[in-house]
Amino acid sequence: MSNKNIGIKDVATAAGVSVTTVSHVLNEVAYARISPETRDKVRSAAEQLGYGPNRLAQALRTQRTGMLGLVSEDIATTPHAGRIILGAEEAAKARGYNLMIINTSGSASLESRRDDVEALLERRVDGILYATMYHRIVELPANLGSVPSVLVDSVAAGGNITAVIPDEEGGARTAVQALLAAGHRRIGFLNNTDDVPATRQRLHAFRTTLAEAGLDGGAAPVESEVSEVHGGYEAARRILSRDDRPTALFCYNDRMAMGAYRAAGELGLSIPADLSVVGFDDQELIAANLHPGLTTVALPHYEMGAWATEHLIDAVEGKTDLSLMALHPTILGCPLVTRDSIAAPLQ
Amino acid sequence: MSNKNIGIKDVATAAGVSVTTVSHVLNEVAYARISPETRDKVRSAAEQLGYGPNRLAQALRTQRTGMLGLVSEDIATTPHAGRIILGAEEAAKARGYNLMIINTSGSASLESRRDDVEALLERRVDGILYATMYHRIVELPANLGSVPSVLVDSVAAGGNITAVIPDEEGGARTAVQALLAAGHRRIGFLNNTDDVPATRQRLHAFRTTLAEAGLDGGAAPVESEVSEVHGGYEAARRILSRDDRPTALFCYNDRMAMGAYRAAGELGLSIPADLSVVGFDDQELIAANLHPGLTTVALPHYEMGAWATEHLIDAVEGKTDLSLMALHPTILGCPLVTRDSIAAPLQ
DNA sequence: ATGAAAGCGCTAACAT
DNA sequence: ATGTTAGCGCTTTCAT
């Protein structure tokens, strides 16, 4: 158990060598010529005394803290933030870094978010991850530019910062293709009403994927509501009341799909026999627990957190030039998670 | 925007004073006698240069980092961890502290968890929060004792560390009382099968609360299954098939309640008209989105995180002696969150 | 009312 | 093969 009061000097004294030697053997400095016996003496003295390095002092001296700042919007408001944090934490740990986390509100002023970044800067983090709660275009505090930074799950208003985002179009295409592959031809889309990239891109992919399958994508039914359970319910009621009722529904997210389940139930439609449903997000609490289990498309939160961290560390260590990657956001795939809500249409 | 290259020395030079003076005015040292004009000069020089303190250097000198370590089991596996982190982060920020977070697996070896704590210790955190994923009895790495520490959502196997946990009995009592208050007399309990404090304590409170209301608590129906949606479904099917079918169900958690909803639906029972249901956890994604909304008891995760942080900081600052609080865990209340799943029984 | 200087624990150039 | 020493940026004692 490391003893806070033991320093390199104590180890040196105990081993009967100088601090340089201790530093060299403990850090396994490449160019150091030290006899095996001395190495052993040092190591056992350190072990004996319960020596643990003081990372503050190391950092002060080397100008490297081995700490990454993570400013995260609304931690825990959704489980999504948690997945990003986990991906970042594990990637960081694997490379010997630690995470300092600051919560910020998505609706906070630019100035208060600037202060959050400032706090991280004062602690001399080697780099900063800035994670948003959902994919959008964010305005970033300017002091983010003081250290290598990467943006997770959003793109910057000004561009010019490396970002990683989900493949909204690809995910939507995957979802629709799953429905097409099951034989569906009358497919409806329950869309969100917010003006965010996902709304537009998923709609676009919905239409083009249908068109590519030889269907009239432009005419396919779309109903928009707030992207919550009740919105999904309302939209589903409407879309399922049409004369040419769809045999399958692509839902903007799992919450809306949950609403669609209820609407289907009320209309006497059994899933997946009478109606196939595919969601988006893979919010496990919902998707895995609905009955039948909801087939959906997963958002790569963990992967984005890990990707961002890997590349941030590469930049910190001079292995990568982030500015080269800043031109275009990196897009990570959204894989299909197959459960039990898709079947072939009846007729 | 703070400039990493500007130090106290640069400010001193720019203001034409010594570093001592700069340090004194910037830190508002109480005993310093410095003329108002000098103070102004220093402050504007600092402002001008974009000076920001180097917290590493401060920490090295003062032996105080202003950082708290948070080792959290399985971040994001449940939204609960997120609420704890948020409570801790906000409490920390309010007092000028930051959080360094380490993820650990609940199933990780004692040794690997010891290493996680060690990493925090090497960074010289002022104190450590150790948060578990669910309320249980946990074996803690011994090096946790090196700095002030508090345990969140569990009690230590050995005792002897300040801990904060939810009031399982009180929460269960509140839930059952809500059912009693609505007029129910035949109340069933869908319990968990895990051998954890919540299982035992909620059951105990279930029986005694009924007894206190003049009912035969010992004879009240209880069905146990895994605390997941499907377990709740199975348990509900059984309990609702009894001759003396309960008019109300207290569920171990919201997931089991979700299963009970499905069972009720299949049996043609309408909630809350034919069957009242109360859950536990207040997992919003479920509780708020079921139809009708699930009345449930909230676990005080945010509050536990905040409480632990407050008291940890008090200890760090010498305002509290944690060892005095270590004798008994602090118990935080579980309030009822009223939605629409309770009504008076039919007859 | 202000400044000089030591030292927090460490690394790394530079001796020897 | 190993040791001496300056200095990372700051706080704080002690002088003046």
In a domain, B218, yes or no: yes
Average pLDDT of the residues in B172-198? 97
Interacting residues of A155 by C-beta distance below 8 A, sequence separation 6+: A137, A138, A163, A165, A329
A37: domain CATH number is: 1.10.260.40
pLDDT at B195 > cutoff 80: yes
Q: Which domain holds residue B128?
A: 67-166+301-331
A59 strand C contact, CB < 7 Å? no
Asked if the structure places residue A199 within a domain, the reply is yes
A148 and A173 within one domain: no
Residue nearest to nucleotide D8 (CA to C1'): A61
Query: Does B271 lie in the same domain as B316?
Result: no
Pair (B193, B178) in one structural domain: yes
Chain A neighbors of B67, CB-CB under 8 A: 100, 123
- Find out whether A170 and A333 touch, Cβ atoms under 8 Å: yes
Which stretches of chain A score pLDDT less than 70?
1-2, 76-77, 347
Q: Are B261 and B288 in contact (CB under 8 A)?
A: no
CB atoms within 10 A of CB B106: 15
Residues B194 and B206 in one domain: yes
Residue B347 lies in a domain: no
Residues of chain A with C-beta less than 8 angstroms from the C-beta of B123: 55-56, 67, 98
Is a pLDDT exceeding 90 seen at residue B191? yes
Q: What are phi and psi of B25, to 5 degrees?
A: -75, -40
Please indicate, yes or no, whether residues A144 and A290 belong to a single structural domain of this protein: no
Q: How far apart are CA A74 and CA A102, in angstroms?
A: 10
What's phi and psi for A78, nearest 5 deg? -130, 155
A329: tokens are: 């956001």
Q: Span B4-14, mean pLDDT?
A: 90
A344 in a domain, yes or no? no
> What's the Cα-to-Cα distance from A290 to each of A257, A260, B255, B260, B313, rounded to whole Å?
10, 11, 11, 12, 43
> CB distance B124–A56 less than 8 Å?
yes
Which pLDDT score is estimated for A194? 96
Mark whether B172 and B228 lie in a shared domain.
yes
In this complex, is the C-beta atom of B336 within 8 Å of any C-beta atom belonging to chain A? Answer: no
Look at the block and give the residue holding tokens 């040092």.
A42
pLDDT at A110: 92
Please count the structural domains in chain B: 3
Q: Does A42 lie in the same domain as A190?
A: no
Confidence of residue B20 (pLDDT cuts 50, 70, 90): very high
Q: Is B311 a member of any domain?
A: yes
Same domain, A13 and A86: no
Whether A61 has its CB under 8 Å from any CB of chain B: the answer is no
Kindly state the average pLDDT of the residues B75-81.
75
Domain identity same for B274 and B293 = yes
CA-closest candidate to residue B84, choices B137, B152, B148: B152
User: Which of B67-71, B79-83, B181-185, B254-258 has the least mean pLDDT?
Assistant: B79-83
Q: What is the mean pLDDT of residues B276-292?
A: 96
pLDDT, residue B2, reads 58
Q: Are residues B37 and B97 in the same domain?
A: no
Query: Regarding predicted confidence, which is higher, B159 or B146?
Result: B146
| pLDDT category of residue B201 using cuts at 50, 70 and 90 | very high
Average of pLDDT values for B282-311? 97
**What is the distance between the alpha carbons of residues B82 and A76, in angstroms, rounded to a whole number?**
4
Decide if A85 is inside a domain: yes
Q: CB distance A86–B98 less than 8 Å? A: no
Q: B105 at the A interface (CB within 8 A)?
A: no
State the helix-helix crossing angle for A79-94 and A301-316, rounded to 10 degrees: 40
Residue B126 pLDDT exceeds 70: yes
A266 part of a folded domain: yes
Q: Which nucleotide is nearest to B37 (CA to C1')?
A: C1
- pTM exceeds 0.75, yes or no: yes
Same domain, B29 and B151: no
Distance A34 CA to D1 C1' (A): 6
Cβ-Cβ contacts under 8 Å, B85 against chain A: 75-76, 101, 103
Residue B89 sits in a domain whose CATH number is: 3.40.50.2300
Instruction: Give the pLDDT band of residue B19 (cuts 50, 70, 90).
Output: very high
Residue of A78, A121, A229 with shortest CB distance to B289: A229
Helix (H) or strand (E) holding A232: helix A229-240
| A162 and A305 fall within a common domain | yes
Label residue B17 by pLDDT band (50, 70, 90).
very high
- Closest residue to B146, CB basis, from A4, A53, A147: A4
**Cα separation, B215 vs B218, whole angstroms:** 9
B2 touches strand D (CB under 7 A): no
Is B251 within 8 Å of B232 (Cβ atoms)? yes
Closest C-alpha among A263, A273, A236, A268 to residue A251:
A236
- Residue A269 domain-assigned (yes or no): yes
